[in-house]
Amino acid sequence: MSSDEIETATEQPFQNVQRQMGKLVEQMQKGYYNYRPGETWTPLVNLYETEGAYLVCVDLGGVDKAKIDIELIDQRLTIKGNRAVPTPPSLEGEDGDAKKYRVHLMEIDHGLFSREVELPLNVEKDRIKATHRNGMLWIELPKK
């Protein structure tokens, strides 16, 4: 793909740096021992626009597609679900019970998640499509 085919939306100066710093601080504060199972985590999202549609890409690696709920109310798209704690396949017993193991580091978010995206007014709500491919949830929002 050439650079002629990709157009990056303009942002306020330093907005990307501010967003990255916020994510870094959030990760430092959370850590392994500060994780509370009742907390929800927020998956990362990319937003794209073509001539005929808006595209939302949500990073949901390790989430069973049957455990993803998508809801559209007014102009707000909400994606919710649950991701189990990743367990190495070699530690799963034949009877379905996991073998005993010790965790040294846990950075991958797990548990309940929720993400909201505000949509433009010109979305054709009756024609929205969602696909789950390679751990990414793709939501196509056709324009009116």
Provide the 3-class DSSP secondary structure of residue 96: coil
pTM for this predicted structure: 0.70
Rounded to 5 degrees, φ, ψ at 76 are: -115, 120
For residue 38, what pLDDT is reported? 56
pLDDT tens string 4-54: 666 666 555 556 666 666 666 666 665 555 555 557 899 999 999 999 999
- 95-109 burial, b at 16+ Cβ within 10 Å, e below that, comes to eeeeeeeeeeeeeeb
**What pLDDT score was predicted for residue 8?**
61
pLDDT in tens, 67-103: 999 999 988 999 999 998 888 877 766 666 667 778 8
Does pLDDT of 63 surpass 90?
A: yes
Cβ(80)–Cβ(69) below 8 Å: yes
Give pLDDT, residue 48: 95
Q: Structural domains in the chain?
A: 39-142 (2.60.40.790)
Quick one: tokens of 62?
A: 């390790």
Q: Which of 61 and 94 is assigned the larger pLDDT? A: 61
The least confident of 22-31, 58-67, 109-118 is 22-31
| Helix residue ranges, H only, 40-81 | none
Pairing between strand 76-83 and 111-118? antiparallel
How far is it between the farthest Cα atoms of the chain? 55
pLDDT for 94 equals: 65
pLDDT at 11: 55
Looking at per-residue pLDDT, the higher value among 107 and 95 belongs to 107
Q: Compute the distance between CA of residue 65 and CA of residue 108 in angstroms, rounded to an integer.
A: 18
Q: Among all chains, which residue has been given the structure tokens 């085919």?
A: 5
What's the DSSP call for residue 144?
A: -
Question: Strands of 68-73's sheet, edge to edge?
Answer: 68-73, 76-83, 111-118
pLDDT of residue 137: 97
The Cα–Cα gap between 58 and 139 comes to: 8
